[in-house]
Amino acid sequence: MGRLARLAAAAGAGYLAGAIPSADLAVRLAAPPGTDLRTTGSGNPGAANAVKVIGPVWGYGIMAADIAKGATACLAGRALAGAGGSHLAGTAAVVGHCYPVWNGFRGGKGVAASVGQCLATFPVYTPVDLAVAWVTSASPRWKQRSYGAAAVASACWVAAATLWWRRRWPNLWGPAPTAALPLAAVATSAVILHRFATVPLLTEDGPVTEKVIDAS
């Protein structure tokens, strides 16, 4: 198999892993028939909305599954096409999570899947990534500015990836930093920010522009 074919296989495997409907499967098991996260709560089929609709046990279970999807995609991509395949598959997993073909391309926002991507491809940065996410989600100011919080987290990720690539710093169990590291961070961040900018928040008065964090 040639290099391009292996990269294509890595991207395909990543997309399929990311598109596994973990939230929908959990809702079928835990909620009354007919419950749909896309029309309930915030309207986002992700872990944060699931916590509100079907409870924290199932909601955090979905979050863990979504993180695992991103990490597993990267490992599969690395097995298929090396370090480049790992980065490509990670970004593809976030695309699959956000735009799953069998759900009318209406998925979550990709944050949890991107944590899995970071854990597999940029593990040395993962604690910082989680800290930034915690600070922005815990702050009352940032809770009202979900797009801004996502943009800050994305900028930190891209900046750190660029620094690690340029400095050639060690990356724990992740692949040696190359230009593919910041490029994947940019691509994944663009997908996530697009979802934050376009997915409406459901209220009693109907869909509105999102104002609160629901970052799954």
**Res. 206 pLDDT band, cuts 50 70 90:** very low
More confident residue, 138 or 35: 35
Is residue 7 one of the residues assigned to a domain? yes
Residue 216 within any structural domain of the chain = no
Average pLDDT over residues 185-189: 98
- In angstroms, the CA 193 to CA 107 distance is 14
In a domain, 214, yes or no: no
Q: Can you give 33-59 as a three-state secondary structure string? A: CCCCCCCCCCCCCCHHHHHHHHCHHHH
Domain enclosing residue 161, as ranges: 3-208
CB count in 10 Å sphere of residue 83: 18
Q: What local confidence, expressed as pLDDT, does residue 121 receive?
A: 98
State how many domains the chain has.
1
* Percentage with pLDDT > 90 across the chain: 68
- Structure confidence by residue, pLDDT tens digits, 126-155: 999 999 888 776 666 655 577 888 899 999
CA torsion sign, 4 to 103 to 130 to 148?
Answer: positive
In a domain, 213, yes or no: no
42, part of any domain: yes
Is 159 inside any structural domain? Answer: yes
**Nearest one of 114, 101, 92 to 46, comparing CA atoms:** 114
Q: What is the pLDDT of residues 54-73, one digit of tens each?
A: 999 999 999 999 999 999 99
The better pLDDT of the pair 94, 136 is held by 94
204 falls within a domain: yes
Structure tokens at 18: 């990311």
Q: Are 205 and 113 in contact (CB under 8 A)?
A: no
Looking at the predicted structure, is the pLDDT value of residue 200 above 70? no
Q: Which of 122, 113, 106 is nearest to 37 (CA)?
A: 106
| Average pLDDT over every residue of 31-42 | 85
pLDDT computed for residue 133 by the predictor: 80
Q: Is 119 within the bounds of a domain?
A: yes
Cα–Cα distance, 197 to 193 (Å, whole number): 6
Give the pTM: 0.89
